[in-house]
Structure 1
Amino acid sequence: MKDRYESPLSSRYASEFMLNLFSAEKRIQTWRRLWVALARAEHKLGLPVTADQVAELEAHISDIDFEMAAQREKEVRHDVMAHVYTYGKAAPSAAGIIHLGATSCYVTDNADLILYREGLRYLRGELAAVLANLAQFAEKYKATPTLGYTHYQPAQLVTVGKRAALWMQDFLSDLEELDFVLENLKFLGCRG
């Protein structure tokens, strides 16, 4: 099927992990996990949410009827409410408490942040692996001479190992930036 836009970033370059992480299925499962967490918290706070309702929601996190949700979204013109409805059909005893007291942004924005955090953690691991490989490469070629370049022209003699160490410095800066973002990522509250 070639009648839909395809991004070369996903079709050529994305890993299986990232393709799965940013899939519709993973996104809606994350919405559902947030609804379960909300219902569990409301139950613990004494709101009219039962443990059985929370358990039923948990039991139906992954059985998503995307066709039903799409049909419902055509009727209500709201993606979150379409999925509230669909989740309620899968977990009928909890239908009335799904999304209780929440806004759409509670689910969409926090779910996106959860997915971004998982993606950043994955990238961090990949970047650490690149650094480890480059460290081995730098050690192996630490005495191998090569010609350095500056302003796109030959410069002074340097070693391949030193060049690799300079590449590593850039990647290390990237790793520090990732760590900062991960440590300071703030999630939204639960307001309705």
Structure 2
Amino acid sequence: MTERGSLYAVSPLDGRYARYTEPLTDYASEAALIRARIEIEVEYLLALADLEATPLSIDGSTRTDLRALYEAFDTEDAETVKRLETEGYAGYSATNHDVKAVEYFLRLHLPDEKRQGPWVHFGLTSEDVNNLAHRLLVAPAVREVLVPEIGSIRDTLAADAREYRALPMLARTHGQPATPTTYGKELAVYAARLGQALGRLEAVTDDLSGKLAGASGTYAAHCAAHPEVDWPAFSESFVESLGLEHTALSTQVNPCDDLAAVFDALRGVNNVLRDLDLDMWLYVSDRYLGQDAAEGETGSSTMPHKVNPIDFENSEGNLTKANSDLTFLADYVTTSRLQRDLSDSTVKRNIGAAFAHSLIAYQKTAAGLSKVTPNGTVMREELEANPEVIGEAVQTILRREGDTDAYERIKALTRGERATLSDFRDLFADLDVDESVREELNALTPADYTGLGEELVEELD
């Protein structure tokens, strides 16, 4: 039978979009989870060997060999563990249990399995291993894969904000022409929001915590075997050695409020970017932004002229899917019936999918930003075509001069009407104001009415 390739993948994450999601395979694949479990089991075994209370002895060369099991972990190792789970291997029957398969895999590599084997997974429940393994994967997935992509978008927005800080642009509130802004200032808003959201994501990722307290969170098996050991202290030391904070109070499961905080923070990042995608799409639609046309690329199967904002659309779709998954994950993983039910196990296997949809979106947003160029001519034409937007400035200046009917006067001229600059100047000519004020009013133009838009870009770090 011919081997089927990615075109037959059930999920687009491993099919159409595999080239985008590949950086996550070291953190989100089943092989990655197996490797992380092996790391936990190896380091736990070595920590037990360091306890004076246990008769377990592991020499230096064996320690090196055991650590190589996860440091040099490869496809063959992953397949061996999977065989132990599903088929049986090397004298072991099929476990039909993924963590037990890891335990047997480790036993196969012990130089003295008879003496050392009983200490593998000693006193642990599977969740002791899994909760730590998931966090060893989530943290670098966020830090090493997602954060750099988010930071790169933020840097692009900041650089473009500075470049186009003085480019005037008609703003819209409620979709209607409003007080002008600058294109650079609008990008700076997104850069600032994204920077803040990124900071929140990094902070909660640094606060992940783990538990190692047995089947009901009471250290019962540990204490039954070695009551003289301070197991909570041992657990705290071990968990912190993995770079995690210690969860002192737990059931069988580690309360996943820390993971939920990561998912919520990532949703915050994605919401900023989805808002950006929507605005960039509209700017392209309004011809405020032009797009580079890739040679040979097709924008429509029937309309040859089209250059679609497809990257922003693709990003929008993937961000929406990611946030749906992240919301589900954050809500689900923080609940468990009594000390534990097993439904969280299958749910947590979808963390990588939520991260993958996010990653695709980040790459698509970045691609979209790289293809657009502001069309200053169109922006100025739009400003000139909507002179009524200076009405705000006019009525505010007249208020300053004590005109109690200023707002109503400008409303009568402009609301629902296409007032021209000539209409405004006719109004100014009839006003009972000092000539210096009349000159001030006559000097107003939409393109120059951008307030501190240019200067505000400096608020970016």
Greater Rg by CA: 2
The runs of 5 or more residues in structure 1 that have no matched partner are none
In the TM superposition, residue 169 of structure 1 has moved relative to its aligned partner by 2.3
Q: Taking structure 1 as reference, are residues 91 and 80 closer, same or farther at Cα in structure 2, changes over 3 Å only?
A: same
C-alpha distance in structure 2 between counterparts of 1:180 and 1:187, whole Å: 17
Structure 2 residue aligned with 1:114: 136
Note if contact 1:56-1:91 (Cα within 8 Å) is conserved in structure 2.
no
The runs of 5 or more residues in structure 2 that have no matched partner are 215-220, 222-461
Find 1:138's aligned residue among 161, 165, 172. 161
Cα RMSD of the aligned pairs, angstroms, is: 2.5
Aligned residues: percent identity? 26
Find 2:46's aligned residue among 40, 43, 59. 40
Structure 1 residue aligned with 2:298: none
Q: Does 1:5 align with 2:10?
A: yes
Q: Taking structure 1 as reference, are residues 42 and 18 closer, same or farther at Cα in structure 2, changes over 3 Å only?
A: same
Note if contact 1:69-1:85 (Cα within 8 Å) is conserved in structure 2.
no
Q: Taking structure 1 as reference, are residues 37 and 110 closer, same or farther at Cα in structure 2, changes over 3 Å only?
A: same
In the TM superposition, residue 68 of structure 1 has moved relative to its aligned partner by 3.2
Q: Taking structure 1 as reference, are residues 51 and 90 closer, same or farther at Cα in structure 2, changes over 3 Å only?
A: closer
C-alpha distance in structure 1 between counterparts of 2:213 and 2:64, whole Å: 21
Note if contact 1:36-1:57 (Cα within 8 Å) is conserved in structure 2.
yes
C-alpha distance in structure 1 between counterparts of 2:175 and 2:25, whole Å: 37
- Please say which of residues 38-47 and 51-60 is displaced more in the overlay: 51-60
C-alpha distance in structure 1 between counterparts of 2:202 and 2:9, whole Å: 36
In the TM superposition, residue 144 of structure 1 has moved relative to its aligned partner by 1.1
C-alpha distance in structure 1 between counterparts of 2:63 and 2:121, whole Å: 12
In the TM superposition, residue 92 of structure 1 has moved relative to its aligned partner by 5.3
Q: Taking structure 1 as reference, are residues 114 and 181 closer, same or farther at Cα in structure 2, changes over 3 Å only?
A: same
C-alpha distance in structure 2 between counterparts of 1:102 and 1:185, whole Å: 20
Q: How does 1:27-106 map to 2 (within 5 A)?
A: 27-46=33-52, 47-52=54-59, 54-61=63-70, 62=73, 63-64=77-78, 65=80, 66-72=82-88, 75-91=94-110, 93=112, 94-106=116-128
Normalised by the size of structure 2, how large is the TM-score?
0.38
C-alpha distance in structure 1 between counterparts of 2:155 and 2:9, whole Å: 40
In the TM superposition, residue 80 of structure 1 has moved relative to its aligned partner by 0.8
Normalised by the size of structure 1, how large is the TM-score?
0.84
Structure 1 residue aligned with 2:457: none
